[in-house]
Structure 1
Amino acid sequence: MRVFKWSSDFETEKESPIVPMWISFPNLKAHFYEKLALLLIAKIVGKPLYVDEATATQFLPSVARVYVEYDYKKEPMNQVWIVVKDRDSGAVTRSYIQRVEFAKMSTYCEHCCHVGHTSSTCLVLGNRLTTPGKVQVSKTLREEKREMLKKEAEQKQKQEKGKEKEPMLLGQLKQNT
């Protein structure tokens, strides 16, 4: 059973592209470990749900992790631009780029709206599984029929050649006796 976030346009046969996932900010400056600051940074990527316990207690100062709702339809960003302003004057004091890392992301099919594969491997589009993990793109019906007719013609030719050789062999045997 899977549980999905409900929305007004929720359809039972489609999986929501909005999924919860962990994002990490490696080597984040120490003063951004404050919960409010961290949630503001995470909001750029998706809707923040909560901060990792090790991050909240600053147990792992090398990386900050936040659990966010992320839309699979959006291209994952690998960095965010952080601008620091002076509280009194509002002037920009410094800015820098912060790297963003996503936990292992699954793929999302735009065609059937399911997580776990892409449109190029979608079974609904007629692709076939050949071996576990490998997908073969389906042939059109016309191509399949053409191949079937070709095989039938080859079999008929083999049968006709076999029939032609039989009488000759029998005739040769009768002459030799």
Structure 2
Amino acid sequence: MKVIKWTADFKPEVETSIVPVWILIHQLPWHLFRWDVMSKIVESVGIAIAPDQATYSKTRGNIAKLKVEIDLLKPKQDQIWLGFNRLEGSEDGKWLNIEYEGVPSYCKFCFLQGHMEDQCRVKKEREDKRGKGTRQK
């Protein structure tokens, strides 16, 4: 059994593409190690769930580790903008590198976690059946 977040378009035969993963934010300034700030910073990545113990107690230095709910169907960001709104020519801020830990793969064909579409057995079986069906005619 798996407990997942409810959505209006829930289908029991389709595994959700929304998963919690750990992200590390590199070079985050010390004074921003506050939950209200960190959860806002990661909004472009996903919904912040919780910091790890070292981030919460500020014992790791300048790397924050947060559990974030992401959508596997969307491209992953490798950086987060820290600063004011980016206006043309404005550089009031900097890009912070982020790293993902334990992101599962997701098949867009059978809608299951654990493999990519190019490794999908269901897709391969269907293609094999189609190939056999056209050869027999």
- Structure with larger RCO (C-alpha < 8 A, sep 6+): 2
| Equivalence map 1:111-130=2 (5 Å) | 111-127=109-125
Q: How does 1:94-173 map to 2 (within 5 A)?
A: 94-127=92-125, 138=128, 140-141=131-132
Q: Give the TM-score normalised by structure 1.
A: 0.66
Larger radius of gyration, structure 1 or 2? 1
Look up the match of 1:42: 42
* RMSD (Å), alpha carbons: 2.4
Flag structure 1 segments of 5+ consecutive residues without an equivalent. 86-91, 129-136, 146-177
Letter in 2 for 1:80: I
SS of the residue 1:41 aligns to: helix
Structure 1 stretches of 4+ moved >3 Å: 142-145
Query: C-alpha deviations, 1:9-58, integer Å up to 9, x for none?
Result: 10000001000111110221112112211111122210111111210110
Deviation at 1:4, TM superposition (A): 2.0
Residue correspondences, number? 131
> Equivalent residue for 2:5?
5
TM-score (norm 2): 0.83
The answer as to whether partners of 2:42 and 2:80 remain within 8 angstroms in 1 is no
| Unaligned ranges ≥5, structure 2 | none
1-side partners of 2:67 and 2:17: how far apart?
A: 16
Q: What is the percent sequence identity of the aligned residues?
A: 29
Contact 1:4–1:15 (CA under 8 A) maintained in structure 2 = no
CA distance in 2, matches of 1:93, 1:31: 20
